[in-house]
Structure 1
Amino acid sequence: MRFQQRKAVVCLISIIALSGCQPNASPASTSAQAEHPAAPQPSPAAAHVTYDGPFGLRMGLSPAEAKAAIPSLEESDQGQGIYRASSVPVPHPDFESYSLLFSQKSGLCKIVAIGKDIQSGDTGYEVRSAFDALDKAITSKYGKGKKYDFTSERYDSPEFWMMHLLKKNRTLAKLWSTEEGSNLTSNLDSIALEAGATDMSTGYLVMRYEFQNMPDCVAEGEAEKNKGL
């Protein structure tokens, strides 16, 4: 008898526990839910704007259109139509900042990507290796270009490579253009890759993309520079 009573109590407890999980909850439970509503779900993120040109941009974008694609884009005090950003729609890991040049007449005409610091020894091996890697990547996409690798110093000893680069007596650069037989797309007029140095042990790379509307930017820049004459 005691066994049957004990079993009945266990069954009753089980039924009560299960009933609390059913859709028809008690008024007290409904009241508690009303007092503590579920947290609102965050709205979906804004669509990521990209274009089919370098770094996810394209020729002719207005500053406003570029700003929509690059939230960090800010106007620079370096000159008319120059903007800077810490990222772009399609960034590259070797670069840490980007400068964009706009024409009032025809929009975006130039992109400059500034590379991260490259710690290097006297011979510049690390800088040259990073240069060669980007050279290979650009060449695989746009075809051949013309490389410039020389020094104006009389004594071109390997241990002075970084010193010559720092003093701008060493040139390591490459140019892609239709004149050089490159297969440029996206309304590009030229691409340039160049090595530089900030001190004897720190180098960096710079990439420049110029679009076919670059003459508009040049003309407007000259007009602005000479307007006070």
Structure 2
Amino acid sequence: MKRVMGLSFFVCLSINLSGCNNQNVAASTEQASSAAIASQSTKQLTSQIKQYDGPFGLAASISREELVHTFGFTPSKTSATLLQGTPPKPSNLFTEYSVIVSKKSGLCKIVAYTPELEFNDNGDQIKERTDSIAETLAVKYSKGKHYKYVKGSYTEPEFWAMAAKEDQAVYAYVWEESALSKIDPNLGFLSVEVASYGDYKTGQVKVIYQYKNMDDCVKESKESQADNL
């Protein structure tokens, strides 16, 4: 009798486990299906985001209206031609983006800033960050020309941070139009440089993409300023 009961117990246990396994398989199948749908939705959403083939998914001559309504840039209170926002293809090297745009010829300049970082008296850390970004840009645009000098009285290396605070230090890489034309015929100037020094021994690195229609933006900005006088 005990053997029969024992056999019955194992049969019931086997049936219950089989039912649980069926439920687990069904749950796993449902989870996999949901994940596949979510992945497909993400791909579709990504493909729907409009992008250009220029820096950060932008390009020369994009209209102010498109920058605001499609990409979500917001006008600056300090300048009629300045917009701030996040481009369609942001880089993990930068956290702040701004563009200069004219009503006549659209986008003419892109500026991106790294997070703030601290550096020593010689500026080693921020110089190294600038070098690293310049090397990354060189993969696409070839090697830029390096400029490094200090103006004024802070000529000793250990006074570089003070020179930077007083806007007397230059540490930059520059690409001229002739080197850029093969990559983007609309791009007239590219640079990566130490900037926005702020507090002593604290600064950012910025990259500037300037297009050949920059003159229109400069003209419109001056006209806007003149209207306020």
- Deviations 1:172-197, CA, capped at 9 Å, x for gaps: 1222122xx41343321111222122
- Matched with 1:24 is none
Local SS of the residue matching 1:58 = coil
* Matching residue of 2:222: 222
Residues in 2 aligned to 1:111 and 1:120: alpha-carbon distance in whole angstroms? 26
Tell me which residue corresponds to 1:158.
157
Deviation at 1:143, TM superposition (A): 2.3
**Structure 1, unaligned runs of 5 or more:** 22-40
Per-residue deviation, 1:150? 0.9
Could you report, residue by residue, the CA deviation over 1:137-156 in whole angstroms, capped at 9, with x for unpaired residues? 22232124333211113452
The alignment of Structure 1 onto Structure 2 pairs a total of residues equal to: 207
CA–CA distance in 2 between the matches of 1:152 and 1:200? 17
Check the 8 A contact 2:84/2:99 in 1, yes or no.
yes
Q: Alpha-carbon deviation of 1:67?
A: 4.0
TM-score normalised by length of structure 2: 0.75
Partner of 2:127: 128
Equivalent position amino acid for 1:57 in 2: L
Q: What's 2:102 paired with?
A: 103
After superposing on structure 2, the runs of 4+ consecutive aligned residues of structure 1 that deviate more than 4 Å are none
CA spacing shift, 1:6–1:166, aligned 2, 3 Å: same
Identity, in percent, stands at 30
Rg larger in structure? 1
- State the Cα distance separating 1:91 from its structure 2 match: 1.7
Q: What's the Cα RMSD here?
A: 3.1
Tell me how far 1:218 sits from its aligned partner. 1.3
More helix by share: 2
Q: CA deviation at 1:132?
A: 0.7
What do residues 155-184 of structure 1 show as CA deviations (whole Å, max 9, x unaligned)?
A: 521111111011011111222122xx4134
TM-score normalised over the length of structure 1: 0.75
